[in-house]
Amino acid sequence: MRPSSHTSRAPRTSRTLAAAAALVSGGVLAVAFSTAAPATAAPTWAPVATAAIHPGTMMYTDGAQCTANFVYTDGAGNVYVGYAAHCAGTGTSTDTDGCSTQSLPLGTEVTFNDGGSLIDEGTQVGSGTLAYSSWDTMRRTGETDADTCAYNDLALVEVDPDDVSKVNPSVPFWGGPTGIDTDGTAAGDRVWTYGNSSLRAGLAPLSPHTGISLGDDAADGGWSHPLYTVSPGIPGDSGSGFLSAGGKAVGVLSTLGLAPLPASNNIGDLNRELAYAQQHSGIAGLQLVNGTEPFDPIL
């Protein structure tokens, strides 16, 4: 199902969007004189109970708020947190074509905040810079595939080295991820997510959601997965990650469907989005990080 006038981007929130939001609700041994570079040490993750940056953390870009999906690393040991590429877009909430919509430049500052609301961005707990945006990349490289333009909606923020010690890759409440879902979803499959819209005023009990997939959309080649959750994703939840059975990372919240399935959401397929980033971002060794906590789907 291609986006149309009946589909809108699940927007980032900002003060200027408040009214609209209300409406849409094996290494080799070293030898003497070796020139081989030493192995890069894996990051040491913060304890899950005290981590300030994690999936579900509020992320602010130029005053607009979205939700972190998952944690990623590269071959050099740098740490990234993902959200939706449209969170750094400069268009409107009805712009759904990432190949034609302008975006903020790479290097733009992004902050990680706790307890934000529509009138207060809360407490900043860390910062990073925009390191990859599928929208910016597709527009610059001249991507022409309509489904890729419509559903490839992933951006990566490189965490400031001084803040890496605050990061834990586990999804709050549910645990995981335990890997990447490469098979998509079938109608009736259960999904789990953790949104953190500023419209909820930092009320954590309202953030965990579970729901049902409506099946892969064959018309777009598996790039998106329409679904219903209780309650639906709202502005500010954009970018949040979805888990499938066993805690596999399956998608990133991208759009809010208005018709023919009111209050449904669409998530971009993470397996495809990450593969695109691995091919085009220039970030060597980019990969998803599994959570330190086991996946537990009991609500």
Question: What is the DSSP annotation of the chain?
Answer: ----TTEEE-PPB-GGGHHHHHHH--PPPP-TT--PPPPPPPPPPPPTTT-SBSTT-EEEETTEEEE---EEE-TT--EEEEE-GGGGB-S-TT---TTTS-BPPTT-EEEEEES--SS---EEEEEEEEEEEHHHHHHHHT---HHHHHH---EEEEEPGGGGGGB--PPTTT----SB--S---TT-EEEEE---GGGTT-GGGSEEEEEE----GGGTTSEEEEEEESPP-TT-TT-EEE-GGG-EEEEEEEEE-SSSTTEEEEEEHHHHHHHHHHHS--TT-EEPPPSS------
> Per-residue pLDDT for 49 more than 80?
yes
pLDDT in tens, 245-279: 999 999 999 876 544 555 678 899 999 999 999 99
Per residue in 144-169, pLDDT tens? 999 999 999 999 999 999 999 999 99
Q: What is the pLDDT of residues 178-225, one digit of tens each?
A: 999 999 899 999 999 998 887 665 566 678 989 999 988 767 778 999
The residues pairing with 112 across neighbouring beta strands, listed in sequence order, are 59, 126
Q: What is the pLDDT of residue 196?
A: 81
Whether residue 5 has pLDDT greater than 70:
no
Instruction: Answer yes or no: are the C-beta atoms of 284 and 76 closer than 8 Å.
Output: yes
Give the other-Cβ count within 10 Å of 130's Cβ.
Answer: 23
- pLDDT of residue 66 exceeding 60, the answer is yes
The Cα 225–Cα 248 span in angstroms is 14
- Its pTM stands at 0.86
pLDDT at 29 > cutoff 50: no
Q: What is the mean pLDDT of residues 118-137?
A: 93
User: Domains along the chain?
Assistant: 54-288 (2.40.10.120)
pLDDT for residue 118: 72
